[in-house]
Amino acid sequence: MVEEIITALSRIKWLFVIARNSSFTYKGHAVDVKQVGRELGVQYVLEGSVRKSGDRVRITGQLIDATNGAHLWADHFDGSLEDVFDLQDKVASSVAGVIEPELQAAEITRSAARPTTDLTAYDTYLRAYPTVWSAARQIPDALRLLEQAIARDPRYGPALAVAAICCFRLVIDGRSQDPAADRLKGKDFARRALQVAGDDPAVLVNSAIALAFFGEHIGAMLALVDRALTLNPSFARGWQVSGNLRYWTDPPELDTAIRHAETSLRLSPRAQVGSPLGVIGTAHFFARRFDEAVPKLILAIRQDPSHPHPHRILAACYAHLGRLDEAREIVTQLRAVTGIVIPDISYLRNAEHRALYLSGLQLAMGEAE
């Protein structure tokens, strides 16, 4: 079980994971986590146990900050020993999927507590990262920080890829002061990121969705995302982006989009890696399952009230359901978020989807005027 978890964690390229032989020296001993951190030179320690009762097994785990002993995460997993290898894969994938965003959040908190007079590229990137996913209205500020990081290190792949995401979001959200310039800048950031990506799943995924939005061949971009998920099957952000791109395609893969977004939610139930709920709601909308789309879109709006996309889809959804008063109310909320109600939707490769989206928004706006 430990070997499986170590292997899964090792796929996260930005983590330094101690090898099995070193970590196993502590097996069976009562240890001080702070001492382990000092001896191994690590910031965090994952510890746990396996308990068996008949053919049932319970695996517990907890993530601890080795500098102060603080608990960052704890959970348990139950399963049957009938297929122990499948259970090991499931636990390893789940642990790795949860730990990546937890460690990302811990590193962001650590960075935010440091003096800001001379930030390194990494610290600047960490300050920008959470704002991209948590609040759409803060994306212009995040882009400024990322451009500072890129100025310090022009080959810093993660910063380049997330900067490309920011440009894409500025354009689609309607917050860009110069959409044509931001498109060019976003393409440049993403292509530069891919040049230095190597086997970094995050760089591959974030560059792929930005370039897909900016018009690159979507099949090629999906291949990049698939490669990233092969490198790290526990990468919640990768599953979220895969879900996004599946409903952009022609023909669309709506049920696959929903499954992949649900996988993202399972792997990262707390830390935001995008808007899996928005993906699920949008896929239901394009499948004309409007009643199923509505609750997912409402939850997506609650997660980030400044994100225009779920507002737009929800307004169109209400309009197609004939709930025009509610559609009008959502358009009013949308206008408080962005001045652009109907965005450029050329990223949707399917003509029927574009027509469904536009007709719904136009109907909602007609009632809202």
pLDDT value at residue 117:
45
Could you give phi then psi for residue 93, rounded to 5 degrees?
-65, -45
Rounded to whole angstroms, how far apart are CA atoms 299 and 343?
22
pLDDT value at residue 129:
86
> pTM of the predicted model, to two decimals?
0.76
pLDDT value at residue 113:
57
Q: Is 17 exposed, middle or buried (0-12, 13-18, 19+ CB in 10 A)?
A: middle
Q: Which domains does the chain have, with CATH numbers?
A: 2-97 (3.40.50.10610), 114-250 (1.25.40.10), 275-369 (1.25.40.10)
Q: Which residues contact 223 (CB under 8 A, 6 or more apart)?
A: none
pLDDT value at residue 233:
87
pLDDT value at residue 118:
46
The pair of structure tokens assigned to 5 is 């978890």
- Render each residue's pLDDT in the chain as its tens digit; 369 residues: 787 887 778 777 777 788 777 777 787 777 888 888 888 888 888 888 888 888 888 888 888 888 888 888 888 888 887 777 777 777 888 788 777 777 777 776 766 555 444 468 888 888 888 888 878 899 999 999 999 999 999 999 999 999 999 999 999 999 999 999 999 999 999 999 999 998 889 999 999 999 999 999 999 999 999 999 998 888 889 999 999 999 999 999 999 999 999 999 888 776 678 899 999 999 999 999 999 999 999 999 999 999 999 999 999 999 999 999 999 999 999 999 999 999 999 999 999 999 999 999 999 998 444
Rounded to whole angstroms, how far apart are CA atoms 202 and 161?
8
Specify whether the CB–CB gap between 361 and 342 falls below 8 A. Answer: yes
pLDDT value at residue 110:
66
pLDDT value at residue 223:
96
Radius of gyration of the chain (CA): 22
Specify whether the CB–CB gap between 100 and 264 falls below 8 A. Answer: no
Specify whether the CB–CB gap between 331 and 364 falls below 8 A. Answer: yes
